[in-house]
């Protein structure tokens, strides 16, 4: 058993300036602010007009490095959770590595959709706990606007663009840091949330473009039904495994897909709403970025404090879902 515990020792984020509000969407299609707010909790989202996912990720890592007072050259591993890589290959991790000048880092992309950050954080923490690495950066970044059909009101109201990043290091206090994780996937859910075109199954052709196969497809109702149970149950499971009650947990840090899913999760955990990190109203669903974006904002505001018990929890395409329990380390 490893005696090293991995801890998040810095966090940062970067979001584009352009705001796409519900009222803007009202002018583009048959939808309305009231429907979007009550069904999802979203008021507005950010849109990256120029650039790619690597720009969101690079901005986030630079913000994190500045806050930590650390040089990019100290980074050893760079893991990028995303479903909107700049291109199939090279990996977006390589693009970010070059943009920030992380000369001594190797890295790779991680594809687990909305659970990407929770999965990648778990992998990153194992690299620290193995004793092999001392500075691993985990990025969650997605330019969802690149794969969103702005004529499809079922999906385009949901998504936004953002990047956020955390630094993992060996914890100087072994009682703090990443304590437990529980991860799942179920490939039978793939048909309900996907992007069918562009890969080896449906390589790009005029037909795949005409059929809009390069955009996100979601059967919202089907996904909602399993997400609302999946996220709540895995959060409850990780609490029980660690002998925690709702009173012990300081923060639920949920993936921001839908306010109603987050509320159900908090209810299952018997958690007061004041202990739930929520910024879905301002950013919508930014896929792999939602959880580290919450951590970064709450850390910056001073509300997230050393020793706080946090449950990070997600559900997304795959299906993939999972939770991480950690004690905030700085
Ligand atoms: O992050 C990855 C995981 N994803 C999720 O967790 C998302 C899970 N799903 C959801 O969050 C919800 O299903 C949505 C927010 C996507 C949709 O909410 P819903 O309550 O399931 O609505 P619905 O799709 O059942 O649609 C209800 C009605 C329909 O009209 P009829 O058939 O009842 O007349 C839709 O056509 O609302 C209509 N509708 C809209 N109306 C105004 C659908 N989209 C819109 C819209 N504006 N944008």
Chain segment 245-298, per-residue pLDDT in tens? 999 999 999 999 999 999 999 999 999 999 999 999 999 999 999 999 999 999
Whether 114 is a known active-site residue: answer yes
The residue from 22, 181, 255, 294 that is catalytic is 255
Contact partners, residue 90, CB within 8 Å, separation at least 6:
none
User: Of ligand 1's atoms, which has the minimum distance to the CA of residue 157?
Assistant: 48
Digit-coded pLDDT (tens) for 102-144: 999 999 999 999 999 999 999 999 999 999 999 999 999 999 9
Mean pLDDT computed over 172-182: 96
Is pLDDT above 90 for 234? yes
Question: Is residue 6 a contact partner of residue 124, using CB atoms and an 8 Å limit?
Answer: yes
Give me the percent of the chain exceeding a pLDDT of 70: 99
Q: Give which of 173, 163, 166 is closest to 138, Cα–Cα.
A: 166
Q: Using 50, 70 and 90 to split pLDDT, how confident is the model at 1? A: low
CATH architecture of 177-327: 3-Layer(aba) Sandwich (3.40)
Which residue has its alpha carbon closest to ligand 1 atom 13?
Answer: 220
The residue whose two tokens read 């209810």 is 267
The residue from 22, 285, 294, 310 that is catalytic is 285
- Phi and psi at residue 225, to the nearest 5°: -60, -45
Rounded to the nearest integer, the mean pLDDT of the chain is: 97
Mean pLDDT computed over 38-47: 98
Distance CA 118, CA 148 (A): 23
Which two three-digit tokens encode residue 104?
């001594």
> What separation in Å is there between the alpha carbon of 216 and the centre of ligand 1?
14
Angle among Cα 163, 300, 36 to the nearest 5 degrees reads 55
258 lines ligand 1 (CB under 6 A): yes
Distance CA 286, CA 83 (A): 10
257 lines ligand 1 (CB under 6 A): yes
User: Of ligand 1's atoms, which has the minimum distance to the CA of residue 261?
Assistant: 6
Predicted TM-score of the model (pTM): 0.97
Whether 255 is a known active-site residue: answer yes
Say which CATH superfamily domain 6-170 falls into. Thiolase/Chalcone synthase (3.40.47.10)
Burial (0-12, 13-18, 19+ Cβ within 10 Å), 4? middle
Give the least confident one: 2-11, 209-218, 274-283, 287-296: 2-11
The residue whose two tokens read 């072994």 is 174
User: Of ligand 1's atoms, which has the minimum distance to the CA of residue 113?
Assistant: 2
Residue 108's beta-bridge partner residues? 79
Is pLDDT above 90 for 2? no
Domain with CATH 3.40.47.10 in the chain: 6-170, 177-327
316 lines ligand 1 (CB under 6 A): yes
Mean pLDDT computed over 55-63: 98
72 lines ligand 1 (CB under 6 A): no
Q: Using 50, 70 and 90 to split pLDDT, how confident is the model at 82? A: very high
């Amino acid at each position: 058993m490893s005696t090293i515990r991995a801890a998040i020792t810095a966090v940062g984020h970067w979001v584009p300036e352009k705001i796409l509000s519900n009222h803007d969407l009202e002018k583009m299609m048959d939808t309305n602010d009231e429907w979007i707010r009550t069904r999802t909790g979203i008021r507005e989202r950010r849109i990256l007009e120029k650039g790619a996912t690597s720009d969101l990720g690079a901005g986030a890592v630079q913000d994190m490095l500045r806050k930590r007072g650390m040089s990019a050259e100290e980074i050893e591993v760079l893991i990028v959770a995303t479903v909107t890589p700049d291109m199939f290959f090279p990996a977006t991790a390589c693009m970010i590595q070059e943009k920030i000048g992380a000369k001594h880092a190797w890295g790779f992309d991680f594809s687990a959709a909305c659970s990407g950050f929770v999965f990648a954080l778990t992998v990153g923490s194992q690299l620290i706990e193995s004793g092999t690495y001392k500075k691993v950066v985990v990025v969650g970044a997605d330019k969802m606007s690149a794969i969103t059909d702005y004529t499809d009101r079922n999906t385009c109201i949901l998504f936004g663009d953002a990047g956020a990043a955390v630094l993992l290091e060996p914890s100087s206090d072994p009682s703090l840091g990443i304590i437990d994780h529980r991860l799942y996937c179920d490939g039978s859910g793939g048909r309900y949330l996907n992007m069918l075109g562009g890969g080896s199954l449906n390589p790009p052709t005029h037909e795949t473009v005409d059929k809009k196969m390069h955009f996100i497809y979601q059967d919202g109702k089907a996904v909602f039904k399993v997400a609302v149970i999946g996220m709540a149950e895995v959060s409850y499971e990780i609490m029980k495994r660690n002998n925690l009650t709702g009173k012990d947990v300081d923060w639920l840090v949920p993936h921001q897909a839908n306010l109603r899913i987050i509320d159900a999760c908090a209810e299952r955990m018997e958690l007061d709403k004041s202990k739930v990190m929520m910024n879905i109203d301002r950013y919508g669903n930014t896929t792999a970025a939602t959880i580290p974006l919450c951590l970064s904002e709450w850390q910056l505001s001073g509300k997230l404090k050393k020793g706080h018990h946090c449950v990070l929890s997600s559900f997304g395409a795959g299906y993939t879902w999972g939770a991480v329990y950690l004690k905030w380390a700085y």
